[in-house]
Amino acid sequence: MNDKEQITSYVARVAEKTKKIAKDIWDYAEISYTETRSADELIAALKEEGFAVEEGIADIPTAFTATFKNGSGKPVMGLLAEYDALECLSQKAACPTEEPVTAGAPGHGCGHNLLGAACFASAVALKDYLTNNNLDGTVIFFGCPAEEGAGSKQFIARAGYFDNVDFVYCWHPSTQNEVSAKGSSAIMGANFIFDGVASHAGGAPHLGRSALDACELMNVGVNYLREHMIDPARVHYAYSDCGGTAPNVVQAHAVIKYEVRSPKVAQMQELFARVVDVAKGAALMTGTKMHYEVTMAFSDYLANKTLAPIMSECLAEYGAPEWTEEDYELARKFVRSYSKETLKSIKEGLEEYYPDAVDEALANPLASTVRAFDPRETRYMSGSTDVGDVGYATPTVTLHVATACIGNVGHSWQNTAFSGSEIGMKGMLRAAEIMTLSFVRTMDKPELIEKAKEELKRKNGGKYICPLPDYCQPPIGKY
């Protein structure tokens, strides 16, 4: 058998086990830093396949590595598995009407159950390929929790776990089949804590110094800042402690959370410093004291352009998942579940993928073609991911494979339903095949791997620098 035929057979060997893992993790639906059962199931399955496991890496209980080494162990190849769910997105699998399994419970609205399971299948298939062909290499499965929270990969990278990894291939569930050249933005989040003086709001208001007023004025200042930042930047906030519910007490303590995004780490850090200055001004105006604690930060992600064409070629060789008419009909029902306003927005977004053919695409709304990697792409998406930090530590490329209908809205009940469906499972197994073939097609090209590392040096200056301050630890139970 050629390499593709071997890989297909190796993935098929663990297909049912992989689907069980994906379905079990979908059922567990554990949110950031609480993914105990999800991590345990992946660990047990990897141990059964002969991987050596290190648990609790980077001081995160649900983070781990699973390693298999053959021969000299070079090259060292990594996969990034995620398995965290999102709050309040419980939904019955493959159900095109909103019906939560448990109202208000978490659900896999970003498909991370599929993401982690596909990485398991790929890691095992790559192990089988190395063993059966007596080839040198090391496979490292990185168990990465909390991508939807404060992240884990930046803590893992800061702890040095990617320092000796030659390259990483990973994937994410999607509505399209592509190796996207678009970047994702850097992000930093912090709690801004204001402390003032409590007082009777009616009897002695002049003695009070309101922490809540400081938060309000910070919001006003940031609103004026929005006019004077670059177009792709984003600033958003939420109150985590508004100082109580008694209006006749001047609020002595309040906490507001802010997140700042920009395409590049340096741009994000500059904008964050300006937000800090606004907070200082709000404290000065209200006679309160302010301090802030950075809780999370991700570097921007950009695919390694040396390696991305290899993964793109492997995607083209395998092609899209093989959909049935039953799959298409279910996808049509999901498309009809969106409101007219949402569907209008979906159609506008699809113009990029299906110029002059959006209605035709939505008539059969499962991506059945693949898009080639475009090295000329320079745009950044406004979303963020901790995969960006891996991409600053070692050459990294992310694959997208369709697991949901065209136009599907992420972080939605519809996405949870797809993550537990046969459509999601088909995309998951195809992603495992493509990733494995990509590893095989790269591992015997040492000159290309070195070229990818030279590209990385130009990007990071020769060393990964974590955007988190040194004092910032994984906010387990705090984020």
What digits encode the pLDDT tens for the residues 60-96?
999 999 999 999 999 999 999 999 999 999 999 999 9
- Residue 468: closest CA among 162, 69, 189: 189
Which domains does the chain show, CATH number per domain? 3-184+300-460 (3.40.630.10), 186-296 (3.30.70.360)
- Cβ neighbourhood burial of 285 (10 Å; 0-12, 13-18, 19+): middle
Assigned token pair, 205: 């208001």
pLDDT tens track of the chain, all 479 residues?
Answer: 899 999 999 999 999 999 999 999 999 999 999 999 999 999 999 999 999 999 999 999 999 999 999 999 999 999 999 999 999 999 999 999 999 999 999 999 999 999 999 999 999 999 999 999 999 999 999 999 999 999 999 999 999 999 999 999 999 999 999 999 999 999 999 999 999 999 999 999 999 999 999 999 999 999 999 999 999 999 999 999 999 999 999 999 999 999 999 999 999 999 999 999 999 999 999 999 999 999 999 999 999 999 999 999 999 999 999 999 999 999 999 999 999 999 999 999 999 999 999 999 999 999 999 999 999 998 999 899 999 999 999 999 999 999 999 999 999 999 999 999 999 999 999 999 999 999 999 999 999 999 999 999 999 999 999 999 999 999 998 77
Give CA separation, 211 vs 191, 206, 253, 311, in Å: 14, 14, 5, 52
What is the pLDDT at residue 231?
A: 95
CA distance linking residue 308 with residue 303, whole number of Å: 7
For 296, what's the count of Cα atoms within 13 Å in the CB-facing half-sphere? Answer: 25
CA distance linking residue 473 with residue 133, whole number of Å: 42
- Cis ω before 75 (30° cut-off from 0): yes
CB 380 within 8 A of CB 184: yes
Specify the pTM: 0.95
Beta bridge partners of 301: 184
Helix (H, G, I), strand (E, B) or coil at 255: strand
What is the pLDDT at residue 276?
A: 98
Measured in whole angstroms, the distance separating CA 40 from the mean position of its chain's CA atoms is: 20
Q: Where do the DSSP E strands lie in 82-185?
A: 137-143, 167-174, 183-184
CA distance linking residue 21 with residue 211, whole number of Å: 48
Vertex 24 angle, CA 111 and 58, to 5° = 70
What is the pLDDT at residue 478?
A: 78
